[in-house]
Structure 1
């Protein structure tokens, strides 16, 4: 009788503990968000803006973990292999999540199957910029100058397959110019060399060059989006400048490892959407040349698949390989 009573008591205790533990609300500790590029890069700046706002309402801090290398592949693979419990997330863009599936053999992860997209976060056009020493004040003048000086203009990027690199590749394909790609390890050095004249041309995300543009150290000729940027109201779009069918730009998404419980993904999406509705946050993104977005997980997954197909065509047409 005594043994039976003890066993029953233990069983009741376990039953009582189990549901309480299962009902613990997410999150109960800080959430690590891997940004697969260096601190101070566009992705890092954009991530911190929304994550700081989300942390105010979700009840836990979002801790940014910068893991640069291999065009964003190192940090992305780290998250793909992480425990799918909602405490390790990825804030990454078109490079590691779309472009690199075509560009990098043996990538180590599949962007379409190894992640649970939470949402598309922002989209960013590139800004076509030149060093002031280049005698071009419009995009048409740049094309004319570049054709007269084949392979004499150098443009920087944060790596093969980045939006800056493919912005240059796409520019060559639609205009017929020949320019030279120079990959950098960090956006800061890339911007420094553009200002000094070590490189003369760029297809940059606005956060990387905004200070230089405002300081007169860099000339902005055109933006690659469908409309002008509020931060650069006097700079025309590429289409306004007379060039059609030009594709360039970037985007960033928030993703979790595959297998993350749907209720956690939904909670993260809800917090992200609430952050994006904040007028102060939206104003900050506009200042950075970014357009806030909030897509449902299924819509974000479809968007990523479409981007993979689009950039596959441009990469193959350009004959781009990881060895370039």
Structure 2
């Protein structure tokens, strides 16, 4: 009976996605495990608004922020796999938290049906303008000569924290991690030089970069950011292999009908290619993606493996910097 219901749901969604902009079929409940206005929320809505424009399929957004994204992500895993509930999750709940939370209530590698990787937001190595540093090579020299330079992040286990820990390991230097609860406080201390270095996501610091209060030194990606075309990659600046990013993916409960997955993936790929969507992602410092479900599964697996090694080497826990 359950399989029959899922098949019927798959057919309903398949035909609704083909009905065009006049579609009035049942909307899809879409869980976002972070607050309204967060990067996850904004990126998801930009993309799915375009899917709605293209297909007429409606989405009802349900923000469930708590526990580093674990609560909302668990709600996706526990939902009925009938194609009417899915959501966006990120590198934290889908990779990092499997390592940091011993009692995680879901398995990122087994409890979801991947649909598509939709965006990657690389970390950017930045320094306060109070430091007389203009290049990554100068920063590296400064860190080697001055142990325990402070760097700020939005909390233990965040992409910013792990990007800093990874940088320490690659360079063989020792820095002091300062976790902040409020991003605005972090940025204030970065500008003032109290925590003079950070491994930030561009939306958090773009205003201060434009104002000249923070200097972007390198992008932790294999290619330059369109929003920072004159800022080199870490490899170009001399630190090879340094890649770190927050990323965003759409997943559904395990067992969601294949027809639903394939159809939604196709429409996400089309929406991701829209020039307006790409331009808006670029403004956020995000690189648009459009993976297949199989590519997303491999990406999740590889990210868990990569960060397991880095976290264990750094002795990082939720309580320890």
What SS does structure 2 have at the residue aligned with 1:283?
helix
- 1:69-218 matched pairs, under 5 angstroms: 69-157=66-154, 159-218=155-214
2:281 to 275, 285, 293: 285
Distance across 2 between alignment mates of 1:272 and 1:41: 20
Q: CA offset at residue 213 of structure 1?
A: 1.2
| 2:152 and 2:177 in contact (8 A); partners too | yes
- 1:203 positional shift: 1.0
Which stretch shifts more, 148-157 or 262-271? Answer: 148-157
Deviations 1:90-145 (A, max 9, x none): 21221111111122101110001111000111222211112211221111222222
| C-alpha distance in 1 between matches for 2:144 and 2:29 | 47
Off by >6 Å, runs of 4+ in structure 1: 19-22
CA distance in 1, matches of 2:185, 2:40: 16
Between Structure 1 and Structure 2, whose CA radius of gyration is higher?
1
Q: Distance in 1 between matches of 2:188 and 2:34?
A: 18
Residues in 1 aligned to 2:61 and 2:83: alpha-carbon distance in whole angstroms: 14
- Tell me the equivalent position of 2:20: none
Q: Given the alignment, which residue of 51, 54, 65 partners 1:54?
A: 51
Counterparts in 2 of 1:322 and 1:23: CA distance versus 1, 3 Å: closer
SS at match of 2:30: strand
Gaps of at least 5 residues in structure 1 are: 1-18
Distance 2:170 2:11 in 1: 56
> What is the RMSD computed on CA atoms of the aligned residues?
2.3
Secondary structure in structure 1 of the residue aligned to 2:96: helix
Deviation digits for residues 270-313 of structure 1, max 9, x if unmatched? 21011012122122222322222212112211221111111111
1:225 maps to 2:221: yes
- Residue of structure 1 equivalent to 2:250: 254
Retained in 1: the 8 A contact 2:9–2:82? no
- d(CA) in 2 for partners of 1:243 and 1:261? 44
Q: What is the number of equivalent residue pairs in this alignment?
A: 305
> SS state of the match for residue 296, structure 2?
helix
Deviates more, 1:96-105 or 1:206-215: 206-215
Q: CA deviation at 1:22?
A: 8.6
Cα separation, partners in 2 of 1:63 and 1:203, compared to 1, 3 Å: farther
Give the Cα separation in 1 of the matches to 2:121 and 2:313.
24
Q: Is the aligned partner of 1:302 residue 2:298? A: yes
Given that 2:10 and 2:83 are in contact with CA atoms closer than 8 Å, whether structure 1 keeps it comes out as no
1:86–1:197: structure 2 CA closer, same or farther, 3 Å change rule?
farther
